[in-house]
Chains A and B, each alone.
Chain A
Amino acid sequence: MNLSQIDLFAAGAAVLAVWMCGVTRVKTQLRGLLLQTTLLAGICVLLSADEHSVHLAILGLVVFLVKALAIPIFLDRCAKRMGIERDSGANINPTLSLMIGCGTLFLGYFLIPSFAVPEMMNQGAAGMALALIFTGMLIIITRRLAISQVIGFLTIENGIFLYSLTQTRHMPILVEMGIVFEVLMGVLIAGVFIFRINRSFEHIDVTDMRGLRH
């Protein structure tokens, strides 16, 4: 019933994250992020139905509204106003990045025994959470644009959220809300800085920011 669906949703989120590694259009990437976060909010709702917990339902709703809707839409607006469409990738090209991304899924799967909590039903979700964290790092490393790095950071954050949802008997709701709030604040501040970078450098390519390397 629900329990296998949770693993399925988690795997879906991780596969979406891997797919995002190979995408160059920022808009498509943001859609991937939206879907990925929606799946996590879905897990929240499934768990709340399973455990009859109102807190989890509220958390799922907040995560959906803030992390799945508000943040991607905000980033999309930013990209549109700066006229950014594509991120061609920095050190590694997107196709190779996609392959390495697939590798992170395996890595996550193999690390299940050392990271999963034995009593929990959704062992697989722990591996997928790790895969999300690795993929987020991969996106940060392999992309050029500041906006893609924010997307990578959000993917890492999603991985941690997935882990805390499926492997613990739920963190205090105040802490979860605090984390969502901080992520929102962080993205807003990052958005402001991306605008500033775009204005003074006339691009947001972080690999081209090297004034401080002494």
Chain B
Amino acid sequence: MNTFLLLAILPLLMACLGLFSRSVRWLPWTGAIILLIQLPVAVWICLPAFSGQIISYGGFAIDGMGAAFTIITTLVAAASMFQAALVLPEERLKGHKITDRRFCFFYTLSGAFILAMYAVPLARHIGYLWIAVEATTLMSAPLINYHHSRDSLEATWKYLLLCSVGIAFALFGTVLIFAAQHTSVHSASMMLNELMLRAKDMDPRLLRLGFVFCLLGYGTKAGIFPLHNWLPDAHSEAPSPASAMLSGALLNCVLVAIWRLSQLLSAAGQTELVRHLLVPAGAITVIAASLILVRQRDLKRMLAYSSVEHVGLLTLAIGIGSGQLFILHAFNHSIVKVALFLMAGGILHIYGTKDLRKLGGLLKTSPAWGIVLMAAGFAIVGSPPFGTFISEWLLLRNTFAAGEITAAIALIVGLTITFIAITSHIGRVVFGHERKIAQSPIRLWVYAPVLLLTISLIAGVAVSPRVMHTLMTLSQLRVLP
């Protein structure tokens, strides 16, 4: 109980500060400092899970998956809030009409959004899981509409409606899974550990239906093709720190929900169904996203579609039942994607546009920005020294090893197209013709992305069989029935 309070107290504090403070000057840095303190707090809270100890209270538990994704979420939130402290006040000075009220409200919503995101991987109760996912939708929708432009309103409405309807299907799936227990002698429960215990006695017909509906619902929220329609709009219209949280933290959290249910299905002896649904879904998502990436004209939309592609990879990892790769790739993708989205905010500031055709010559304008953007571009497509390379490589190898040859070939094709598309887009921004700049680049803004990329580099070098073994034990650590 105390542990969960400790985890929640700092984001809650930020939410309250945003609600009650009247001064805009110190709020951004307070928010950043709160989240930077939250980072060691979250790591300290999650540490017991790494040594095989589970803390649980009511419908929530810090098990292996929960611990891993709580840390990733906190890291993403801390980086985003740090960057927000730099970017948002500057943006307010330059043109964008943002009232004090809305500015403070951004922090309230961010705090609440982070809390809701914590609740998703920590929930071990399928009802609370659903409530937490729906809460993330409701808390993040106003974040997307921060700029109050026509486009951001349209994106927000699309996000709110499509995700709510999608999530309604997940609710139906949850109810179906709950109803599937009618054949069991035990009284019905929504706790995942109890469900797994009686998984074999459950009505397979309703359980399978329930899983399909949950996949449809949570898949909409995660952006699995063809349910990804809202994602590029929402992720490109939100202010950069919010985009970073949506892409780097929220997508992971929703995929954890799919992971939990896939574990339940496996316990019921339905591994085949999970694999037959998730592996093709993942492979198709990778291919589709890579093809769409070729024709992108907007920097942030390109990054959003790259997120869709990585969601495909993660879905595939869940499909072949590899928890360790799911954690590893989610971590690697998150840090690099957050670095990129935070840099996109800076590039928008420099050029005053995110239209890829009007960006160019970044290396000449500011060598620091140019080099870092290039490195981040290489990192996101999975080039060797970075962590993404290791996880994508291992994923490819495991897909082959699992006998999913078609999916593995699709993966190779998709990753190749993505590599060409993203490197050519980013190459044009870095090396292309020098374009007119609106404002001179601010050196300070590039530090957070540099730090994140360094972490990605370290992750790329540090992954050893021992690390993979630790991740595997971590992914299998859960509350026993």
Q: Kindly state whether residue B211 has any CB partner on chain A within 8 Å.
A: no
Asked if A190 and B160 sit within 8 Å, CB to CB, the answer is yes
Residue of A nearest to B141 (CB): A189
Q: Kindly state whether residue A211 has any CB partner on chain B within 8 Å.
A: yes
Q: Contacts A168-B179, A182-B134 known; A193 to B157 CB distance under 8 Å?
A: yes
Q: CB-CB < 8 A to B125: which residues of A?
A: 175
Asked if A157 and B151 sit within 8 Å, CB to CB, the answer is no
Asked if B179 and A146 sit within 8 Å, CB to CB, the answer is no
Q: Quick one: which of B345-397 are within 8 Å of A by CB?
A: none
Q: Kindly state whether residue B43 has any CB partner on chain A within 8 Å.
A: no
Q: Kindly state whether residue A8 has any CB partner on chain B within 8 Å.
A: no
Q: CB-CB < 8 A to B131: which residues of A?
A: 175, 178-179, 182
Asked if A214 and B155 sit within 8 Å, CB to CB, the answer is no
Q: Quick one: which of B179-226 are within 8 Å of A by CB?
A: 179, 182, 187-188, 190, 203, 205-206, 209
Q: CB-CB < 8 A to B206: which residues of A?
A: 115, 117
Q: Kindly state whether residue A43 has any CB partner on chain B within 8 Å.
A: no
Q: CB-CB < 8 A to B130: which residues of A?
A: 179
Q: CB-CB < 8 A to A185: which residues of B?
A: 138
Q: Tell me what chain B mostly uses at the interface: helix, strand, loop, or mixed.
A: helix
Q: Kindly state whether residue A74 has any CB partner on chain B within 8 Å.
A: no
Chain B residues bordering chain A, tally (CB within 8 A): 46
Q: CB-CB < 8 A to B237: which residues of A?
A: 212
B99 to chain A, nearest CB (A): 14
Bound-complex Cα distance A118 to B182 (A) = 9
Q: Kindly state whether residue A140 has any CB partner on chain B within 8 Å.
A: yes
Bound-complex Cα distance A169 to B143 (A) = 38
| 28 intermolecular pairs with C-beta atoms under 8 Å apart | A118-B182, A140-B161, A146-B157, A157-B168, A157-B171, A160-B168, A163-B172, A164-B175, A164-B179, A168-B175, A171-B175, A172-B127, A175-B125, A185-B138, A186-B134, A186-B138, A186-B160, A189-B141, A190-B160, A193-B160, A197-B153, A197-B157, A200-B150, A201-B150, A211-B151, A211-B154, A212-B237, A214-B297
Residue numbers of A with Cβ under 8 A of B are 114-115, 117-120, 133, 137, 140, 146, 149, 153, 156-157, 159-160, 163-164, 167-169, 171-172, 174-175, 178-179, 182, 185-186, 189-190, 193, 196-197, 200-201, 206, 209-212, 214
